[in-house]
Structure 1
Amino acid sequence: MGSMTDRASARAAKSALSARLATVPGVVGVGLARRDSGYVVKVDLADPGVASRVPGDVDGVRVVTEVVGVVRAL
């Protein structure tokens, strides 16, 4: 897996991962983030227990997680 992922590859991986995680309770968001000189897929979680359900990479694109808590509409 290369250290630099372009935006198009990261977007494709985000779409694939979003579909896989759509029904996983505790996943509150999936997006892109810049890391070093490229992009990663960032998965926001309601609690740390969900992290084990998230893969470390998708199609060669690194996946990172962050516990942000429960997201509620304003």
Structure 2
Amino acid sequence: MSDRAAARAAKSSLVHQLGAVPGVAGVGLARRDAEYVVKVDLVDAATAAQVPSAVDGVRVVTQVVGTVRAL
């Protein structure tokens, strides 16, 4: 089970890994099944193959949200 501090550290590491990957709309934290996970928002499902399922023992989940635009 991952606590918030571990998830924050994993998020920071994953942001560096995915920073140049096109199709990543955002990276954040979320609660799933009573634990913290790193959540990666994607423009399309094709990018999911480049996202690891875990980072430093913290689970990574993906969600296709489409293109994010400023209001």
- For 2:53 and 2:42, the matched residues in 1 are separated by 14
TM-score, scaled relative to structure 1: 0.94
- 1:59 equivalent to 2:66? Answer no
Task: List gaps (5 residues or longer) in structure 2.
Answer: none
Report percent identity of matched pairs: 70
Counting matched residue pairs gives: 71
TM-score, scaled relative to structure 2: 0.98
Task: List gaps (5 residues or longer) in structure 1.
Answer: none
- 1:22 equivalent to 2:19? Answer yes
- What RMSD, in angstroms, separates the aligned Cα atoms of the two structures? 0.4
For 1:45, the equivalent position in structure 2 comes to 42
Post-superposition offset of 1:69 = 0.1
- 1:70 equivalent to 2:29? Answer no
